[in-house]
Structure 1
Amino acid sequence: MRHRTTLQVFGVPILLGIATLLGLGAGLIGDGGWDVAAGLLLAAPLAITGWYWTRTAPKTKRDRTGAVHQMPAVRRV
């Protein structure tokens, strides 16, 4: 098992949370360009989540000894 730092584990979720908060704030600040910015910032986490859910699973997997095993092609649902 690969050890990861706290930033590697929580970095993307923190950025998605910041984007959401900035989008909500931009929606409250003003009209026009602020509304466009708010829409883009609020849509970004949804788009990234959708992309992650639809990508294909890896075709190889390593076990504890480091040996590589072929996995059947399966799409994540």
Structure 2
Amino acid sequence: MSAKRQIRVWTAPIILGVLTSVGLISALVSDDAGDVLAWLTLAAPVAVCCWYAPRRQRSES
């Protein structure tokens, strides 16, 4: 597997992992604006899964 392909494959999971980490830390450390940041960053992986799950099921059939 070439280096460009590896970067392309791992970019989205790394971004989602960083967003999740920021959201969890923000939820633990701050209030008000931090809570909003936590909700948004923790909703991102859920939104991505909801976006791609129906597409994957259709393509496998």
Q: Which has the higher strand share?
A: 1
- Structure 1 portions without partners, runs of 5+: 58-73
Runs of 4+ in 1 over 3 A off after TM superposition: none
After superposition, the CA RMSD in angstroms is 2.1
CA distance in 1, matches of 2:36, 2:59: 32
Q: Which has the higher helix share?
A: 2
| 1:75 aligned onto 2:58 | yes
Q: Give the % identical residues.
A: 40
Question: Whose relative contact order is higher, 1 or 2, with alpha carbons under 8 Å and at least 6 apart?
Answer: 2
Q: Note the alpha carbon deviations across 1:11-62, whole angstroms, 9 max, x for none.
A: 101100000000001101111010010011000010011101122x6xxxxx
Within 5 A, what are the aligned runs for 1:28-43?
28-43=28-43
TM-score (ref. length: structure 2): 0.81
Larger radius of gyration: 1
CA distance in 2, matches of 1:76, 1:47: 19
